[in-house]
A = this chain, B = another copy of it.
């Protein structure tokens, strides 16, 4: 006897969605009126607004205000069922998903599992670095940063002190740029008041980028301005360098240069997070699933993939679409419509990416944006870009209450130069134990 998960019996078609990121929840919403049973599986009971994770990591907003329980998002959607479960594998022949709570049958399967940090096979880096891909990561980074300073208070040795106070961020994409900027703001405005006993001129923030420019994928103006802003804030931007090794203390670059830090933030790349059981031919390099213009996974009739996990390769996008919120949201929305068409025997509509541009914030009053409005490209940097960034992110946070809390936080931070939540609560990342160097001289 097979062990089935309990879900209300239905004569309707069942759409099973794995993963409640942007793509997954947009699809579920888009099936609101459809005559189907929608089952969303996720290993957390909440949706994470990933673009603001870096602000949680740098104590800018509360964790709670950028996450939203699925059951709350969908409380008015009658055909929606949520199951808190981990997926073990999918059996596409017998059309079920094996999960930690039992088997779940499907008529249509949608994989929306997103992406995970790519350490490019570097096990040492995976062990010693911190990434910012989940809420857990972000909270761990926050705890680690704050705990480092508490530890630093007890040290005299200059190198040991630097190992705790310096930060190395690897990867000059939006996440790397945003974290570097936020850390710099903390150093310039917040930490010196909290830790009066420490000299924050000793705190160095390095941003390491493998290519010749920051924000690859955005315009040259954006990359250059981002670098200019960061350097003005005090970030040491090191271009054309790769990290070779990091033992939890010493960072060695391919140029032979070395840096000392106990906290290396890895924002150098992501890779798809596919599920087991999909035919290997459809899994491309980068672990993404090859989909056609209807987001159907190659080789299947009723298995789809949307968002970061999907590689939709077209003439316009020979490398696939960028791994951003916009393609995920648009694919989720369209797939909902297409599933309805499919069930009604109508032809599906091909996906066309409506590129609205991209942006990154660097810090107080400074952001860079390459916008596309009415097919016109608008490049803007500085205060206006920052206001646009704030506005777009604020309205995108799910839930009116969350928006209000984020707004209160941002307003508060802006006017007081004082971020809210410098709490050490939960796990922290401790690399090499700190060598205690307290000697009689420093006795009380």
Q: Interface residues, chain A, CB within 8 Å of chain B?
A: 1-10, 44-46, 62-65, 67, 69, 71-72, 75, 78, 81, 83-84, 101-102, 104-105, 135, 146-147, 150, 153-156, 193-197, 401, 404-405, 408-409, 412, 418, 420-426, 436, 438-440, 442-444
A424 touches B156 (CB 8 A): no
Other than the given A104-B444, A401-B412, 16 more pairs (CB < 8 A) read: A1-B440, A8-B444, A9-B444, A62-B62, A62-B64, A62-B65, A62-B405, A63-B425, A67-B423, A71-B194, A71-B195, A83-B150, A83-B153, A84-B150, A401-B408, A405-B409
Q: A408-B401, A420-B64 known; A444 and B45 CB under 8 Å? A: no
Query: Across the two chains, which residue of chain B brings its CB closest to A422?
Result: B69
User: Given A405-B405, A408-B408, A425-B63: A153 and B71 within 8 A (CB)?
Assistant: no
Q: Given A45-B146, A62-B64, are A71 and B422 also a contact pair (CB < 8 Å)? A: yes
Determine whether the beta carbon of A194 is less than 8 Å from that of B75: yes
| B residues near A438, Cβ cutoff 8 Å | 3-6, 102
Q: Which of B9, B422, B426 contacts A72 (CB 8 A)?
A: B422
Task: Let me know if A4 and B193 touch, CB within 8 A.
Answer: no
Give the Cβ gap from A59 to chain B, nearest Cβ, in Å: 9
Docked Cα-Cα span, A248 to B181, in Å, equals: 49
A6 to B157, CA, bound (A): 12
What's the least CB distance linking A406 to chain B, in Å? 10
In the complex, which residue of chain B has the Cβ closest to the Cβ of A143? B45
When C-beta atoms are compared, the residue in chain B nearest to A402 turns out to be: B420
Taking a contact as CB atoms under 8 Å apart, the answer to whether A408 and B404 are in contact is: yes
A-B contact pairs, 21 of them (CB 8 A): A2-B443, A3-B436, A3-B438, A4-B438, A5-B154, A6-B154, A10-B444, A44-B424, A63-B64, A64-B423, A67-B423, A69-B421, A69-B423, A75-B193, A83-B153, A84-B150, A101-B154, A401-B408, A401-B409, A404-B412, A405-B408
The 8 A-B pairs of least Cβ separation, nearest first, read A71-B194, A9-B444, A4-B443, A62-B64, A84-B150, A75-B193, A69-B422, A45-B424
Say whether B45 contacts A422, CB under 8 Å: yes
The answer on a CB contact under 8 Å between B426 and A6 is no
Is B102 touching A4 in the complex (CB atoms < 8 A)? no
- CB proximity of A44 to chain B, nearest CB, Å: 7
Tell whether, in the assembled complex, residue A135 and residue B45 are in contact, meaning their CB atoms are under 8 Å apart: no
CB distance from A250 to the nearest CB of B (A): 25
Q: What is the minimal beta-carbon distance from A400 to any residue of chain B, in angstroms? A: 8
A104-B192 Cα distance, complex, nearest whole Å: 24
- Nearest to A437 among chain B residues (CB) is B6
**Cα–Cα distance between A444 and B2 once the two chains are bound (Å):** 11
Cα(A150)–Cα(B83), bound, Å: 7
**Min CB distance, A246 to chain B, in Å?**
26
Q: Say yes or no: A424 contacts B64, CB within 8 Å.
A: no
Q: Measured between alpha carbons, how far is A409 from B135 in the docked complex, in Å?
A: 21
A9–B444 Cα distance when bound, in Å, is: 5
Q: B residues within 8 A CB of A81? A: 197
Chain B residues near A442 (CB-CB < 8 A): 4, 6
- Contact status of A444 and B3, CB under 8 A, knowing A420-B64, A422-B69, A423-B46: no
Interchain CA distance A436-B423 in the complex, whole Å: 39
Q: Which residue of B lies closest to A80 (CB)?
A: B196
| Chain B residues whose CB sits within 8 angstroms of the CB of A71 once the complex forms | 193-195, 422
User: Which residues from chain B contact A44 at a C-beta distance below 8 Å?
Assistant: 424-425
Q: Please, which residues of chain B bring their CB within 8 A of the CB of A102?
A: 154, 436, 438
By beta carbon, the residue of chain B nearest A136 is B425
Chain B residue contacts of A424, Cβ below 8 A: 44-46, 84
Specify which chain B residues have a CB less than 8 angstroms from the CB of A64 in the assembled complex. 62-64, 420-421, 423
Question: What separation, in Å, do the CA atoms of A153 and B7 have in the docked complex?
Answer: 8
In the bound assembly, the distance between CA atoms of A439 and B442 in angstroms comes to 69
What residue in chain B is nearest A442 (Cβ atoms)? B6
Give which listed residue, B1, B46, B423, contacts A45 with CB less than 8 A: B423
Roughly how many angstroms separate A86 CA and B159 CA in the complex, as a whole number?
26
**B contact residues around A75 at 8 Å (CB):** 193-194
